[in-house]
Amino acid sequence: MMKIGFLTVALKNMNFEEIARWAHSVGFEALEVAAWPIVNERDYSSTTIDVENFGPEEAQKVKKILEENELIISSFAYYDNNLDADPQRRKRINEHLKRVIDAASLIGVELVGTFIGRDVKKSVEENIEEFEKVFKPLIAYAESKNVKLMIENCPMVSWQEPEKIGNIFYSPQVWREIFRITPDSFGLNLDPSHLYWLGIDYIEVVKEFGSRIFHVHAKDVEVDQRKLYEQGIYGYFGENPHAKSWWQYRLPGFGEIDWEELVLALKKVGYDFVLSIEHEDPVWEGSEEKSKKGLLMGLEFLRKVI
């Protein structure tokens, strides 16, 4: 039976124990633990566990909290630009990713999620070459710690520069090339919401890449047909290209993803792990109370489809 969890960024002002106690009290079974640096510039990020100051003693405390609250950690989450064009920044991000891997290994967590990112000065093809240079040692390091790396398929448009793809790992065409040069220990944190607004069939993705799907984000997306008519697929042009875009992320059940069909497709390819709610729904964020309400609505909906 699949488990339902959530990415802890949604409750970023609570500590790990507080989040675990609340999650257990309302019926969640898994946590996707945010592990960004305490000081960082990413939106939708937090530091539920500080991996820079994490050793065996801290690992035992985390294990005890998990046991007391009948929870698992489905994955550690650190989504940043591992191919940053600035060599010093890239090195800092890569090194932090290693610390996330270390923490996961100490607890016995198999999965760590991140972005490939992009050197914005180079083409997608050139970035695939950069990927091989940067990620070959990172994948080997993870394997040495009994950890698997996985990438979320968010294109991160305008992350480094306006209108440019910021994370090259966004389409089946690129995945095939990446998976061709990586071992089976490297996979996908599947997020159907990105596929939907990109016009990619998420059911066909599950059928083709099932063996590389390690984890699934439960995030929905709503399309505003009027804005799509007005703006076209390239969306609104202004200071923030996403501020008035024709699509909007929603909690599962509040958008256009067919979750029953998706769950069935996942089961057919043998996926039976966690659906992790990644809460980026603007209707239900802005306060701890609203975020909790949103997570509970997502939980209630997903229970009906698994």
CB 93 within 8 A of CB 81: yes
Give the per-residue pLDDT at 158: 87
In a domain, 243, yes or no: no
Give the per-residue pLDDT at 162: 83
CB 277 within 8 A of CB 295: yes
In a domain, 238, yes or no: no
Using left for φ > 0, alpha for ψ between -120 and 50, and beta otherwise, residue 237 falls in: beta
In a domain, 198, yes or no: yes
Cα–Cα distance, 101 to 76 (Å, whole number): 8
Cross-strand partners of 113: 77, 150
Where in the sequence is the domain holding 170, given as residue range(s)?
Answer: 3-220+255-305
Give the per-residue pLDDT at 142: 98
Give the per-residue pLDDT at 237: 62
Spacing of C-alpha 98 from chain mean position: 17
Number of domains in the chain: 1
In a domain, 247, yes or no: no
In a domain, 239, yes or no: no
**pTM given for the model:** 0.96
In a domain, 290, yes or no: yes
Give the per-residue pLDDT at 290: 97
The one-letter code for the residue type at 301 is F
Give the per-residue pLDDT at 263: 98
In a domain, 232, yes or no: no
In a domain, 155, yes or no: yes
**If the chain, 306 residues long, is cut into consecutive pieces of 10 residues, what is the mean pLDDT of each piece?**
97 97 98 94 89 97 98 98 97 98 98 98 96 98 98 94 92 98 98 97 98 98 92 72 77 98 98 98 95 98 97
CB 155 within 8 A of CB 234: no
- Burial bucket for residue 255 (CB in 10 Å: 0-12, 13-18, 19+): buried
Give the per-residue pLDDT at 227: 87
CATH number for position 269: 3.20.20.150
Cα–Cα distance, 246 to 249 (Å, whole number): 11
Give the per-residue pLDDT at 166: 96
CB 229 within 8 A of CB 260: no
- Burial bucket for residue 273 (CB in 10 Å: 0-12, 13-18, 19+): buried
